[in-house]
Structure 1
Amino acid sequence: MKCPNCGMDIVIATHLCPHCGYAHDFDGSIEPRREIPEPWEITPEKSRKRREKRERAASTWARSRAGRGAQEAAYVRDDRVREQDAVKHGSADEDVPERLWAFTRNLVLASLILCAALLFAASAFYLTGAYFELDGRYTSSYAYWMLPELRLLDTIFGAACIPIALTVITAFAQLRRGKRSGRGMLVFAAVLFCIVRFAYDVALTAAFDLGSELLSSIGDWLIPVVLYAVFVQLIIRKNPAFNVGTGT
């Protein structure tokens, strides 16, 4: 029962309230609790059905909204998955031309290193006359003793190959850093080599009266050099991997 003074529940038989000390005979009985009524149960009879209908409609709307929210979340999740797949496949497709351009760039740079190595090797062969040793019929000392003019021409041509090789290396360094000035250096090296080699052939023809035999073989080295220079220039111009920066 409840204390008449403080309203607290007294669940033991006593003559004093343990909470406030109020003198009263308490028997320790507990009053039955009434269940909490529904909202429409406390509404007057004339509007109870209308209140019940509104409450049930609101709960139905809340459940349907929760279902639509879950469905929309599933749609959003599916859209995100599709977008991620599209980005993944798109990036994979975009990587193919990038790898191709990078491969052609590395191929051009490797060819420049090969050209520089061949020029240094040619310089060593012509300065020392080692190409006679490869032929096997004459030694370089005997050939140069018999043909002193050849020794002079070989020395000039071999010495001229060194700055051409250094120019190719400079072009390699410029292109590797993405500077467009490497294109001009490469063209300069190709033109300089053609001039030096053509002058060497003309000098040999004039010195040893070789006629047109030597000059007719100019196309054997001129055509490959020109084709290589033009092909490399086209690759450098079209390849975006070489367009990292500009230089003068």
Structure 2
Amino acid sequence: MEKTLTAASAIPRKNFRMTTPVALPRYLEETYWWAYLHPRAVRLFERQWLVNLILWGNYAKLRDAALREFGSPITGKVLQVACCYGNFSQRLAQRLAPGSRLDVVDVAPVQLENLRKKLNGQPRVFLHRQDSANLAFTDASYDQVVVYFLLHEQPEAVRTRTIEEVLRVVRPGGKVVFIDYHRPHRLNPFRYLMMPVLKWLEPFALGMWHKDITEHLPAAARPAAVEKQTYFGGLYQKVVIIV
């Protein structure tokens, strides 16, 4: 059971409910309104070719790298923290085994509604309006968790809380998968191209260049295993933590 279900929905509209509103974080309203909150943003960015272009042609590689971590078919309870543009969630849902389920949380109603439409009646998928830094699920309630290109959009303190929360809700022996930005190698020309771009459009993202995801782990955390792999000359990373 959840501690306090802030909002939940199955994919059909009749079950798509937002009962108790969750406040939008100030950083999201001030920094990312143009990308995630404005209805026109969804119409602009929800294009597979565009999200692939934003990731310099690496969308499919990064998506599939994350999906492989969960196996096929995917069993048990899976949590995706935050909606994302592109077809990641659809591919994740398509791999669910009978009896398994996928929960997706996001703090922005417009993003949840967009995902509901994209999933187009997929069974065993539930949407929840929650803040990633204050999840309403009980401890150890998920077998696997994925955080796909969320951390770089958060201030450092919020990023730390999000990581703490996803570790809290995954069961012992469970897996957490992070896909996000990473500091590129010095000889990678995209290092020098992306630095001003991120500084201008995604001001919290450069924090991912200077502090590893594992440095945000709680002091008491004792993961059974941590694996890290980088892509595209180090610009992107996959970090897998076995709790």
Q: TM-score, normalised by structure 1?
A: 0.22
Structure with the larger strand share = 2
Specify which structure has the bigger relative contact order, considering alpha-carbon pairs within 8 angstroms and separated by 6 or more residues: 2
Higher gyration radius (CA): 1
